[in-house]
Amino acid sequence: MDKMKRMQELVELLNKAGKAYYQDAQEIMSNYEYDALYDELKGLEEELGTVMASSPTVNVGYEVLSELPKERHESPMLSLDKTKEVARLKEFVGDQMAVISWKMDGLTIVLTYRDGELFKAVTRGNGEVGEVITNNAKVFKNVPLHIP
């Protein structure tokens, strides 16, 4: 198969899986399968020096479709590339201090506190615009309502 055609096929397949997961709450492939296809696409993009505008390697999150209030992020909420190699991780961190944790599936939100009180919670959304979920976040077990 032509490499450019394979890239197109991967973009369509990964976008379909992303839409199903983020917008329809359906998993049409495992995380392992998604990651393998994503890595294949990333490799083809690097090899060919081409990245399609709709590629999941340059787009994050999901398109905001619900009726919740929307808010533009002060700074884009981007996504970091994954790595499975310790050497690449060490190279990325360099001589900086770092906290490293496992990647867990879940909701990415920006929490804003004023005078130590939870003031606002906004989802990542598409990376530029998210949904305001402050009332929901107040009942999440792992979101502190107060900070020092």
Domain CATH number, residue 142: 3.30.470.30
Q: How confident is the model at residue 84 (pLDDT cuts 50, 70, 90)?
A: confident
Active-site annotation holds for 103: yes
Q: Are residues 8 and 18 in the same domain?
A: yes
**Domain region containing 55:** 1-59
Instruction: Assign residue 16 the CATH number of its domain.
Output: 1.10.287.610
pLDDT value for 127: 85
Is the model's pLDDT at 137 over the cut of 70?
yes
Whether residue 29 is found in the same domain as residue 70: no
Please check the confidence at residue 58 and state whether its pLDDT lies above 70. Answer: yes
| Domain final position from 42, 59, 76 | 59
Give, for 5, the enclosing helix (H) or strand (E).
helix 3-22
Please check whether residues 51 and 82 belong to one and the same domain: no
Residue 15 has pLDDT above 80, yes or no: yes
Segment 130-145 mean pLDDT: 90
Give me the half-sphere count of Cα atoms (radius 13 Å) on the Cβ side of residue 94.
Answer: 2
55 and 67 in a single domain? The answer is no
Q: pLDDT, tens digit, for every residue of 59-77? A: 766 665 578 899 999 988 8
Which member of 103, 120, 138, 141 is catalytic? 103
pTM (whole model) above 0.85 = no
Question: Which of residues 44, 59, 74 is at a domain's end?
Answer: 59
pLDDT above 70: percentage of residues in the chain: 91
Q: How many domains does the chain have?
A: 2
